[in-house]
């Protein structure tokens, strides 16, 4: 029923799964994040980020943003903005 109302232009919104979300609510939806990272450069020139969970060094030998800490096993994604700064 809601799909028909949306298609007919009687309501201004979208279906998000099974839920109706007004277009105004979608426009207000924002994502804010702060990128904080620490890194150092090893003697061999490899950049090492600090794990966001335990602080152990995680080597950045390639540009793959998906990382996993060898010490605590936590997986994390390195934001593109961090790669752009390096």
Pinpoint the alpha helices (H) of the chain. 2-7, 23-28, 80-85
Using the predicted structure, report yes or no on whether residue 61 has a pLDDT greater than 70: yes
Closest listed residue to residue 82, CA positions, set 58, 72, 1? 58
Identify the pLDDT of residue 32. Answer: 56
The sign of the dihedral angle between the CA atoms of 54, 55, 59, 60 is positive
Give the pLDDT confidence of 40-59 residue by residue, as tens digits. Answer: 787 888 888 888 888 888 88
Give the pLDDT confidence of 21-42 residue by residue, as tens digits. Answer: 777 766 665 665 555 567 778 7
- Alpha-carbon gap, residue 10 to 26, rounded angstroms: 17
């Amino acid at each position: 029923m809601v799909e028909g109302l949306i298609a007919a232009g009687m309501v201004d919104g979208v279906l998000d799964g099974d839920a109706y979300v007004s277009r105004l609510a979608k426009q207000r939806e924002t994502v804010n994040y702060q990128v904080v990272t620490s890194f150092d450069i090893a003697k061999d020139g490899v950049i090492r980020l600090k794990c966001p969970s335990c602080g152990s060094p995680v080597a950045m030998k390639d540009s793959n943003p998906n990382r996993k800490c060898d010490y605590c096993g936590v997986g994390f994604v390195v934001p593109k903005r961090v790669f752009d700064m390096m």
